[in-house]
A and B are shown apart, each in its own frame.
Chain A
Amino acid sequence: MKARVGIYVCECGNNISDQVDIAALIPILEDAPGVVKVMPFRLLCSKEGQDFLEAEIRQEGLTHLVVAACSPRQHLTTFMEVSKRGGLNPYLLQMANIREQCAWVTLDRKEATEKAARMIRAATARVVRQAPLPEREVAANPDLLIIGVGISGAAMVRTLAGPERRLYVVDRDVAVTEGPLSGMEGVELYGGWQLEAVRGFFGNFEVTLSSGDSKKEIKVGAVAICSGSRTMTLQEMDYPGWEDPGVVLLPPDLEALMPHLEGLPERPKVLFVHCAGREKVGYCSGTCCLRSFRAMRWLAEKVPAAQLACLYQDICVPGRKGEKEYQGILGAGVRMTWGRLTGLSSQGRRTAVSFLREDGSSGQETADLVVMVPATVPDPGAKVLMDIIGADAGSTGFVEEGHPMLEPMATSVRGIYVAGSASGPRNAEASMLSASAAAAQIDAELRPGETLRLEAQTSQVCEALCTGCRNCLNVCTYGAIVYDPVAQTCQVNEAICRGCGNCVAACPSGAISVKGATYQQILQEIREAVR
């Protein structure tokens, strides 16, 4: 079918028409191949402008549309909607930015007009090479796999359980199957099971679970990693002398400290050592100072005669609550000493704590009881889990978020979410909040009964040209390309592809192309641009 391109040049009030001689442009544009109509209009983004364009598409039987106006970043969506309303596939539209990148930046009117002509002809040459693209949807499975039922996992189950989606819950602890979550509607518990394999993509994952020799295949739309964290052990921290009986790890339940307080002298000196293990892990665990201060307060009530002291490197108590506790501790006379722990040793019935000061000199404190406040590290199963899933774990071993600020509940793989302390040290309250956030995001992105809209401008491989070199696969950030060892060619998973085009540039055979930015489209645009 012969192309019928309509070019509409917006005056943008006077913003474009003041600098670009639109009348002079028209004959130059009418001359371009495939063009059947060229018309100026005062303001195309206005209601009148949009209605006008819609009518033009129908009346002129346009096969392609060029809108020469402002930046596509402002109004591409607007004109794509207009195209749809006019019965034209929205991907048969091209904009020429003759306002921000021509009229507004070119002093000389003649030059501005010539540049506008070039830009619009380039857009026209490109648009006729554009193909209509369907807006595709894929059926999505609303069911969810939750890995780990600690604080955040359990919170996610309670939030998302309901008649509209099945929740598969996996935890290596066998007791989970008969635990407090059993009997909930739509919840299947797999205590004593683990994740073996994950295939597929967001909305359509195929998961293999295993327990001993048994295997189970399930289908889910998304996966939530709630594998949690734990604190370092004394052995792992490995400070010289850590086996000394006067050294104890700050327990999660403070009552577990009581046995260690028996047999201590009348006015026992208790030294809390913060940042224990910090050098080994390379990060501040963020939650421990507050935990320690609460423990100090508890201890001060249980043993009023105790002398409390604290060896620390930094006090990290972001927010309102933490600072109150800290100032309370200072007010209660807890002695704070800056120091980097180097070792522990027995001194009679006491324990000596050696440390380095900031100036490099050595210091020592003795105490009747040394409470080590340990670093938080990822759950031991996390590494294997991340390898199976193919999501990024950073150098710390914690799960990397999709974006450190804007996507804290997502991971590098679309459809795999993370909640709780699996992505970093987090106290109970923060874990619950993050579970609530992850649940909300999953609920919004994977809605029962709805399909998932796919990116239209994705890559695709021409199998005839593909040599199976896998260059494309290697450069794809999203893992959207898979290699078929039987066909010995690559294939693009269009549900994951984001259309960046890196694979296209990487392919030595020209076998892969990205819709909406094909070689020919860009080439034709270049030809007009250099004329």
Chain B
Amino acid sequence: MDETFQPRIVGFLCNWCSYAGADLAGANRLNVPASITPIKVMCSSRLDPALVLAALLRGADGVLVAGCHPGDCHYGEGNFYARRRLYLLKEVLATLGLEEDRLRLEWVSASEGKRFAEVTADFDRRIRELGPNPIRSRGLT
């Protein structure tokens, strides 16, 4: 693993559950990797695959989308749509020369500060294993 590699991971967090869970991780002073920059959306269903792609094409080494657990979505079923879209997108990533694992979808509830810390730590570890986004290293961004 390249020790100088400083991953840039974008974390899309939904306002009602996962963003609150991330805040709770903070309130509990848990460790969250510095590689992750959170971006708040109202619902994980806002995540247009085009936005996720845009993040990857602009050099994000990883994209994490965290929404409410199935059944808990503040807007009803938004997280189901998110799941469908992002799983489809994963299939497409290979055609762009990107590893499927660079995109991760997780469910984190407002009370799961610890889970948020665990999920982000695990994703950071995986991205370090994968190395820098090949698009970035080819100097395309």
Contacts and interface: CB of A to CB of B under 8 A. Distances in A.
Interface of A: 71-73, 97, 99-101, 104-108, 111-112, 114-115, 118-119, 122, 457, 475, 477, 498-502, 504-506, 514, 517, 519, 522-523, 525-527, 529-531
25 contacts: A73-B23, A97-B23, A101-B38, A104-B27, A105-B29, A105-B30, A106-B32, A114-B34, A115-B37, A477-B78, A498-B75, A500-B46, A501-B41, A501-B45, A502-B43, A502-B78, A504-B48, A505-B49, A506-B81, A517-B42, A522-B51, A526-B51, A529-B37, A529-B55, A531-B8
Given A73-B15, A504-B48, 10 more contacts: A105-B31, A111-B34, A115-B34, A477-B78, A501-B43, A501-B46, A502-B43, A526-B10, A526-B39, A526-B54
A530 B58 contact: yes
The prevalent SS among residues of A at the interface is helix
Interface centre among A105, A498, A501, A531 (most CB of B within 10 A): A105
Interface in B7-49: 8, 10, 15, 19-20, 22-23, 25-27, 29-32, 34, 37-43, 45-49
A457 B50 CA distance: 21
Interface of B: 8, 10, 15, 19-20, 22-23, 25-27, 29-32, 34, 37-43, 45-51, 54-55, 58-60, 74-78, 81-82, 85, 117
A504 B46 contact: yes
Contacts of A457: 42
B51 A529 contact: no
Nearest to A114: B34
B37 A502 contact: no
B34 A106 contact: yes
A477 to B, nearest CB: 4
Interface centre among A114, A499, A502 (most CB of B within 10 A): A502
A531 B37 CA distance: 11
B23 A529 contact: no
Interface centre among A100, A499, A525 (most CB of B within 10 A): A100
A530 B10 contact: yes
A209 B49 CA distance: 45
The prevalent SS among residues of B at the interface is mixed
B8 A500 contact: no
A517 B13 CA distance: 13
Given A100-B23, A530-B8, A105 B81 contact: no
B77 A101 contact: no
A500 B27 contact: no
A97 B46 CA distance: 20
B30 to A, nearest CB: 6
A393 B25 CA distance: 39
Contacts of A506: 81
Contacts of A504: 46, 48
Contact of A500 (B19, B23, B45): B45
Contacts of A523: 51, 54
A104 B29 contact: yes
A502 B58 contact: no
A73 B46 contact: no
Contacts of B40: 72
A29 B50 CA distance: 28
Contact of A519 (B42, B48, B58, B74): B48
A392 B37 CA distance: 39
A506 B45 CA distance: 9
Contacts of B22: 100-101
Given A119-B37, A500-B45, A73 B58 contact: no
B103 to A, nearest CB: 14
A101 B26 contact: yes
B68 to A, nearest CB: 12
B75 A529 contact: no
Contacts of A101: 22-23, 26, 32, 38
Contacts of A71: 19, 23, 26
B39 A527 contact: no
A71 B27 CA distance: 10
Contacts of B55: 526, 529-530
B23 A530 contact: no
A122 B76 CA distance: 29
Contacts of B32: 101, 105-106
A62 B36 CA distance: 30
B115 to A, nearest CB: 14
Contacts of B81: 475, 502, 505-506
Nearest to A74: B23
A514 B117 CA distance: 30
A501 B79 CA distance: 12
A505 B29 contact: no
Contacts of A530: 8, 10, 37, 55, 58-60
A65 B32 CA distance: 27
Given A501-B45, A525-B39, A526-B51, A477 B34 contact: no
Contacts of B49: 505
Contacts of A477: 75-78
B66 to A, nearest CB: 12
